[in-house]
């Protein structure tokens, strides 16, 4: 049995789809625009529009809703927590009261909206990482950040760090899994007791993990140097970006949909 699952962290899934083929810069800007759009809506109409957009995009990307939903598993707790906090701590007309605790209709609405917002945010962000290889993602970010190079931002280094971080997620998950099993085999008790006890129990997992991470980082640095890596200067790309008219058109559509959904919702509310 695996304690941790690779897929659930939004790792790149290679496939052939219009979204996979799109220019990473287009996808990054679109994802930012979509997430902004999600935060601009406040009514059921807006949320349902964004859910429709999400379903459309995930169909288009051939990723499929079930796999998309699996990617939110790690943040489910956070979403549930947000919902509960909002339900109990929003003031308004109380529906149910017991001492200082009260549930208001505004609270319920707020809870549902906030968790929907988070859910959509994570799903749109994951749609980006599921359809874009880390290398392309990093190159896209590097390209988008390159105007800031003039003011001293190390665009290439940031992008390379991201690539490597994403590349090592599955490796380190496997590693954590192995260490957890090893400690369990020695009688470690990882999932009983209160929060403090659990955190303490996790220390024997974290320390070997840290040691391994540093060793790996060192090995990787040597291997990269051996392969003539010397920073971003003079590097070329096997897959250079080609911004096609499709990318331009997609981006225009995304921005139009953000504007339309936001405006439409505002108008209908009045």
Partner 1 sequence: MDISIASLQGLSYSYLEVGNLALDGIDLEVQRGDWIALLGGNGSGKSTLAKHFNALLTPMQGACFICGMDSRDDKNLWEIRKTVSMVFQNPENQIVSTVVEDDTAFGPENLGLPTEEIRARVDRALKIAGLWDKAEVASYTLSGGQKQRLAIAGAIAMDTPCIVLDEPTAMLDPQGRKEVMDLLKSLHDKGTTIIHITHRLEEIENATKVVVLKKGKLVWRGTPKELFLRQELESWGLELPPMVAMWRELAKMGTIGQDVPPETERLVQALCQSL
- Pick from 97, 157, 189, 225 the residue near partner 1 by CB under 8 A: 225
Note whether 220 binds partner 1 by CB under 8 A: yes
Q: Per CB under 8 A, which of residues 155..174 are in contact with partner 1?
A: 163-164, 166-167, 170-171
Nearest to 127 by CA among 184, 57, 186: 57
Q: How far is the CB of 206 from partner 1 (least distance, A)?
A: 20
Q: How far is the CB of 199 from partner 1 (least distance, A)?
A: 29
Which of helix, strand or coil describes residue 101?
Answer: strand
Note whether 242 binds partner 1 by CB under 8 A: no
What sections of 146-194 are H helices per DSSP? 155-185
Q: b/e map of 68-92 (b: 16 or more CB within 10 Å)?
A: bebbbeebeeebeebbeebbeebee
- Pick from 73, 198, 237, 246 the residue near partner 1 by CB under 8 A: 237
Note whether 227 binds partner 1 by CB under 8 A: yes
Q: How far is the CB of 143 from partner 1 (least distance, A)?
A: 15
Q: Is the Cβ of residue 78 or residue 220 nearer to partner 1 in the bound state? A: 220
Q: b/e map of 154-178 (b: 16 or more CB within 10 Å)?
A: ebbeebbebbbebbbeeeebebbbe
- Pick from 119, 123, 135, 261 the residue near partner 1 by CB under 8 A: 135
Note whether 2 binds partner 1 by CB under 8 A: no
Q: How far apart are CA 231 and CA 152, in angstroms?
A: 15
Note whether 12 binds partner 1 by CB under 8 A: yes
Nearest to 83 by CA among 104, 51, 114, 44: 114
Q: How far apart are CA 173 and CA 2, in angstroms?
A: 10
Q: How far is the CB of 140 from partner 1 (least distance, A)?
A: 13
Q: How far is the CB of 55 from partner 1 (least distance, A)?
A: 25
List interacting residues with partner 1 (CB under 8 A): 6, 11-14, 133-135, 163-164, 166-167, 170-171, 215-216, 219-220, 222-230, 234-240
């Amino acid at each position: 049995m695996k304690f941790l699952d690779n897929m659930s962290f939004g790792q790149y899934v290679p496939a052939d789809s219009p979204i996979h083929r799109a220019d990473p810069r287009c996808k990054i800007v679109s994802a930012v625009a979509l997430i902004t759009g999600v935060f601009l809506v406040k009514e059921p109409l807006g949320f349902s529009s964004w859910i429709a957009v999400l379903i459309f995009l995930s169909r288009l990307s051939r990723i499929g809703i079930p796999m998309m939903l699996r990617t939110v598993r790690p943040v489910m707790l956070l979403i549930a927590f947000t919902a509960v906090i909002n339900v109990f701590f929003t003031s308004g007309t109380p529906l149910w009261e017991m001492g200082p605790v009260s549930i208001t209709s505004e609270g319920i609405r707020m809870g549902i909206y906030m968790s929907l917002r988070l859910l959509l945010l994570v799903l749109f962000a994951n749609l980006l990482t599921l359809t874009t290889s880390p290398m392309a993602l990093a190159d896209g970010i590097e390209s988008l950040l390159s105007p800031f190079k003039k003011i001293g931002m190390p665009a290439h280094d940031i992008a390379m760090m991201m690539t490597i971080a994403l590349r090592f997620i599955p490796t380190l998950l496997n590693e954590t899994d192995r260490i957890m099993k090893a400690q369990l085999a020695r009688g470690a008790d990882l999932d009983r007791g209160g929060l403090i006890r659990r955190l303490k129990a996790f220390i024997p997992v974290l320390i070997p993990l840290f040691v391994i991470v540093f060793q790996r980082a060192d090995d990787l640095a040597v291997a990269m140097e051996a392969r003539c890596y010397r920073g971003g200067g003079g590097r070329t790309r096997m897959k250079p970006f080609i911004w096609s008219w499709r990318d331009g058109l997609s981006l225009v559509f995304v921005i139009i949909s953000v504007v339309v959904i936001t405006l439409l919702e505002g108008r209908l509310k009045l």
